[in-house]
Structure formats: structure tokens, C-alpha cells
Amino acid sequence: MTILRLRGREFRPGEFAIMAVVNRTPDSFFDRGRTYGFSAALEAVDRAVEGGADIVDIGGVKAGPGDEVDPAEEIRRVAGLVAAVRERHPDLIISVDTWRAEVGKVVAEAGADLLNDTWGGVDPDLARVAAEHRTGLVCAHAGRAAPRTRPHRVAYADVVADVIGYTVDLAERAAAAGVPRESILIDPAHDFGKNTYHSLEVSRRLGEMTATGWPVLVAVSNKDFVGETLGGLPVEERHAGTMATLAVSAWQGARVFRVHDAASARAALGAVTRMRRGGHPEERTTVA
């Protein structure tokens, strides 16, 4: 399996990286705007680092439907924050959640190390930006949906096969365009272009995705499929389900975990590491 390299750091097979979410949006489904303000967002990054985050993923546009956010506004929300975080945490891996090449270019110049394209390559120029600036790239499966839309009567003959075929093709094309191969991840993108059944099927069969050799990122934290699976729990009651899904994903070989609670995720993944190795409880874990 591939060694993942981001900002000079290496994450080998069996090592996990924690990616903490920091949203500069007024309408996030999880924090409902608590980190929209610049100072609040910067403080959230500090807390994530203290909690053990290896990566922070900064977003300026809510994933779901909502008010229009044009590229200029997205850049206003994220570029200055990226620059401030880079100055404040020189060794931290900074990711930006965007599907737009013009945003990717600005944030790469501001210091971002990874472009997290959760909408599955709708702007093919984003890979070219990653290649030009030697950043990493997340290649996700969103069911070919338009950005910020919810799935409606979506169907797959085999959702896992579709996810693997699509993300691996994106990854190979990104590598061919010049994105460093060791800095490319694939992401099944739970709930993006998928209903709860599809997200659960991907979770159960994630090992098929990790078997491709590409490092796999999972972003399941407090998502709708977790709440629906547990009887319709609201966002604020999905923590236990999130930790369980992280553990299932880690056991099957996922490498990067995008979460809202870095400290809890690190503790859970450390437990998975010890269980898999069968070592003494006091042994150092392989959580990167």
C-alpha cells in the first residue's frame, strides 16, 4: 500500500491521520456558525491541534443547499484564514474543502497543502492546480451530483463498485496530470450522492476500497446516515455512532479521518490500533 506524504510528513499503512473540520460558514449543519468569525475559526484550529489533529480542513461553503456563495466570497472566507494558520502552525497540514480551481489556486498560494474536492472532480482544473502547486488532492465520489445538492432517488447497480471505479479513475487522472501520486487520497464521500443504505454499504465494504492501494479518507462525523441508522438521532446525539463508524473504517484500513472532535477520534483510533496489534495496553500506538 502507498505511503501517504503531506507537507513532508509520512503516514504509512497502519498509521492514521486525524483531519479536524473547521468551517468558516454561517450555516454549517454541525456548528451552526460558531466558527464563522475569523477569530473563532482560528481558535478552533488551535483547539484541534491541541486535541491531536494532524490536518485541519478549512471550508468556506456549506455542503448542503443554502445561500449562494460565489468564488470571491469563498476566497474571502478561507484564504486569509489559511495564511494565518500557516503562520501560527508552521508544521500543520492544512487542507481546504473546495471544488473550485480558482479557489484552490488562491489557497495553495496562501499555504494550503491539500485540496479536498468533496464533489468528485466537477471542475477538472482543480487537479491541474494541485499539480502546479504540488499540493495533495482528495478524489471523492459524489454520485456525479452537482455541488450542494442532495441525493434524490439515486440508484446504483453496485454502489461500492461505482465508488471504487470513479475515485480510482479520478486519482489516476490526477497523477497523470502531475499531482504527486503519494499525496492523492480517495474518499467514498458518505451521504454525497448516496442515501443511508448506500453509505452503510460503503462502510461495510470499505476494505474493498482500501485494497486498491490508494490511501482512503473517510468523512462520517455526525452525518445523516449515522443518525438515521440509530433511529433518527439529531446531530448533537450522533457522537457514539460516529466513533463506532470510525472504528469500523479504521479496522478495514482507512487512513485519514475527517472529524469534528479530534481528541475523541484520536482516542478511538488508538484503541483500534492496539486491538489490531494485540499489544500491551501501554505500547505506543501507530496513530500518526
Q: What is the pLDDT of residues 73-89, one digit of tens each?
A: 999 999 999 999 999 99
C-alpha cell at 213: 492501494
Q: What is the pLDDT of residues 253-265, one digit of tens each?
A: 999 999 999 999 9
Asked if residue 233 belongs to a domain, the reply is yes
CA distance 236 to 61: 21
With pLDDT > 70 as the criterion, what percentage of the chain qualifies? Answer: 97
pLDDT of residue 283: 44
Q: Band the pLDDT of 188: cuts 50, 70, 90.
A: very high
> pTM of the full predicted structure?
0.94
With pLDDT > 90 as the criterion, what percentage of the chain qualifies? Answer: 90
Nearest CA to 231 among 240, 220, 219?
240
Indicate left, alpha or beta for 78 from its phi (over 0: left) and psi (-120 to 50: alpha).
alpha
Domain of residue 174 covers 4-8+15-269
Asked if residue 27 belongs to a domain, the reply is yes
pLDDT of residue 27: 87
Asked if residue 75 belongs to a domain, the reply is yes
Asked if residue 62 belongs to a domain, the reply is yes
Tell me how many domains the chain contains: 1
pLDDT of residue 31: 79
DSSP symbols for 124-173: THHHHHHHHHT-EEEEE--TTPPTT----S---SSHHHHHHHHHHHHHHH
Q: What is the pLDDT of residues 237-256, one digit of tens each?
A: 999 999 999 999 999 999 99
Asked if residue 276 belongs to a domain, the reply is no
Q: What is the CATH number of the domain that holds 226?
A: 3.20.20.20
Residue recorded with cell 482500501: 210
Asked if residue 84 belongs to a domain, the reply is yes
Asked if residue 195 belongs to a domain, the reply is yes
pLDDT of residue 85: 98
pLDDT of residue 125: 98
Is the per-residue pLDDT at 184 higher than 90?
yes
pLDDT of residue 33: 85
pLDDT of residue 1: 72
Q: What is the pLDDT of residues 46-56, one digit of tens each?
A: 999 999 999 99
Burial of 9 (0-12, 13-18, 19+ CB in 10 A): middle
Mean pLDDT, range 265-284, rounded to an integer: 79
Q: What is the pLDDT of residues 135-156, one digit of tens each?
A: 999 999 999 999 999 888 999 9
The upper half-sphere exposure of residue 67, i.e. CA atoms within 13 Å in the direction of its Cβ, equals: 8
> Over the chain, what is the mean pLDDT?
95
Asked if residue 137 belongs to a domain, the reply is yes
Residue recorded with cell 492544512: 94
Q: What is the pLDDT of residues 105-137, one digit of tens each?
A: 999 999 999 999 999 999 999 999 999 999 999
Is the per-residue pLDDT at 288 higher than 70?
no
